[in-house]
């Protein structure tokens, strides 16, 4: 944990961070309801006090957060009740049955899956109080400023520099493959603060206001025709020290929390049976008997079984997670997710034949979220190619699984104790 910051969390020295700060609700929160019956009762009290049919969406979500029903495993006062993570399903089922709105988790997935658990694990109390509520409600979108043109798979080689001047850090550099940067208010950012240290040391983790002067977002057009990713240029961006997360020089430790959560959020998302890529293929198989062949039937069966195994393994993984502290097993889930998506989408294109090559919405769009299942088969096939790169390349994840899950010998690393400034680039 970091030392507390004095005063409110601020933006650049010229102005305070404003908007969406939570009301003081801690005194109004009763003792946590730590079992299923207590959570059901608490959820019904929320629904009675804020009927979804007559309560605005944002107002309902704020009330849900303040009642501790946003993510029940988080602490009291931060949207949770300190209850077991697995009991979230009890709350979600009650709210879904009542027609309550959700927080559009796909749109704010980076905030929910990566920024929030990192802030919870390493942030100051002021950071948690200011940032978590509008993040969960969806009032503020987040993005991730990690990868760089020369530091993608090897994140520790990043060269974006942050130099401290008093209580402010001046940041210069370039980031790339940044999803949602064109929508985001906040970013999680790792920058080099001590080039004299080896590459895994001398980095520091920050929260960056994407509306600040010096932040420039440019679209990157993808093979799908869209520009869902971006490159971000940082030119003399001023970040107050109160928005540093963790100790200076400990950015790699903090970033590992983000990366492990990212892999779980990508590869271990909760899905119903036939959720994800396998659903459209199974639907086409049932509805289009003229497309069936014996060889495709066998491949579909194999992939259906693998998809179901991966889905159930994801459920088990989520049950085993301590709040915000996933382990390297999430890398295995993300590996399976990437491989299955690519193989299933390839099967779908082959099943549809010439029809599978059609792609009706080849346009330069700036989407708010990635929609894998609500689009053409051709889109799914093309977009799935990125699954083995985003969130950690499959090659890197194979090393993680080999070393940290299976206990195999680590690859030799000759740059482990060399100062970053002396590395060949």
Residues carrying an active site annotation: 262
Report the Cα 194 to chain-centroid distance in Å.
27
Q: Which DSSP category does 344 fall into?
A: H
Q: Is 376 exposed, middle or buried (0-12, 13-18, 19+ CB in 10 A)?
A: buried
User: What DSSP state is assigned to residue 368?
Assistant: S
CA-wise closest residue to 47 among 84, 83, 101: 101
| Backbone phi, psi, residue 207, to 5° | -105, 125
**Site of tokens 């991966």:** 310
Look up residue 7 and give its two tokens. 């005063």
The H-or-E segment that residue 53 falls in is none
Distances (CA, A) of 249 to 107, 235, 379: 32, 21, 42
Distance from C-alpha of 222 to C-alpha of 367, rounded to nearest angstrom: 12
Beta strands (DSSP E) in 141-254 are: 142-145, 161-165, 168-175, 186-192, 203-209, 215-220, 229-240, 244-245
Residue 189, exposed/middle/buried by CB under 10 A (0-12, 13-18, 19+)? buried
Residue closest to 331 by CA, chosen among 380, 250, 395, 275: 395
Residue in 336, 309, 334, 332 with CA at minimum distance from that of residue 301: 309
Can you tell me whether residue 229 is helix, strand or coil?
A: strand
Cα 150 to Cα 159, 174, 262, distances in angstroms: 8, 10, 21
Give just the sign of the alpha carbon dihedral 305, 310, 311, 313. Answer: positive
Instruction: For the beta carbon of residue 159, count every other beta carbon within 10 angstroms.
Output: 19
Which residue is it, tokens 């990566």?
114
CA 191 – CA 210 distance, rounded (Å) = 15
Cα-Cα-Cα-Cα dihedral sign, residues 403, 407, 409, 413:
positive
> Cα separation of 5 and 172, whole Å?
24
């Amino acid at each position: 944990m970091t030392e507390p910051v004095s005063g409110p969390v601020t933006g650049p020295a010229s102005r305070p961070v404003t908007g969406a700060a939570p009301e003081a609700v801690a005194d109004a929160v009763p003792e946590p309801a730590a079992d299923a019956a207590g959570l059901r009762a608490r959820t019904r009290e929320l629904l009675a006090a804020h009927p979804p049919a007559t309560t605005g969406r944002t107002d309902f979500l704020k009330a849900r957060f303040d009642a501790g029903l946003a993510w029940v495993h988080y602490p009291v006062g931060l949207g949770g009740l300190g209850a077991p993570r697995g009991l979230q399903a009890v709350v979600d089922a009650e709210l879904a049955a009542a027609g309550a709105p959700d927080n559009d988790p796909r749109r704010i997935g980076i905030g929910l899956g990566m920024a929030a658990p990192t802030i919870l694990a390493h942030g100051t109390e002021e950071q948690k109080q200011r940032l978590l509520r509008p993040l969960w409600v969806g009032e503020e979108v987040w993005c991730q400023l990690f990868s760089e043109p020369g530091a993608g798979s090897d994140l520790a080689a990043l060269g974006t520099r942050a130099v401290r001047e008093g209580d402010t850090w001046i940041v210069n550099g370039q980031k790339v493959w940044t999803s949602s940067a064109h929508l985001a208010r906040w970013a999680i950012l790792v920058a080099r603060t001590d080039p004299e240290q080896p590459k895994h040391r001398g980095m520091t983790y920050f929260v960056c206001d994407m509306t600040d002067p010096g932040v420039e977002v440019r679209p990157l057009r993808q093979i799908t025709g869209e520009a869902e990713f971006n490159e971000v240029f940082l030119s003399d961006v001023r970040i107050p020290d109160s928005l540093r997360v963790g100790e200076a020089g400990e950015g790699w430790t903090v970033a590992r929390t983000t990366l492990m959560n990212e892999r779980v959020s990508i590869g271990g998302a909760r899905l119903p049976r036939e959720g994800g890529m396998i659903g459209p293929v199974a639907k086409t198989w049932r509805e289009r008997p003229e497309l069936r062949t014996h060889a495709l039937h066998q491949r579909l069966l194999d992939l259906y079984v693998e998809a179901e195994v991966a889905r159930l393994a994801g459920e088990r993984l989520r049950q085993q997670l301590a709040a915000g502290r996933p382990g390297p097993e999430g890398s295995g889930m993300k590996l399976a997710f990437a491989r299955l998506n690519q193989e299933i989408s390839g099967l779908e294109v082959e099943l549809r034949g010439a029809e599978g090559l059609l792609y009706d919405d080849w346009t330069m769009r700036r989407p708010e979220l990635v929609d894998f299942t609500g689009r053409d088969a051709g889109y799914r096939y093309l977009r799935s190619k990125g699954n083995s790169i985003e969130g950690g390349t499959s090659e890197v994840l194979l090393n993680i699984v080999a070393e940290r899950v299976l206990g195999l010998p680590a690859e030799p690393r000759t740059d482990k104790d060399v100062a970053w400034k002396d590395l060949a680039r």
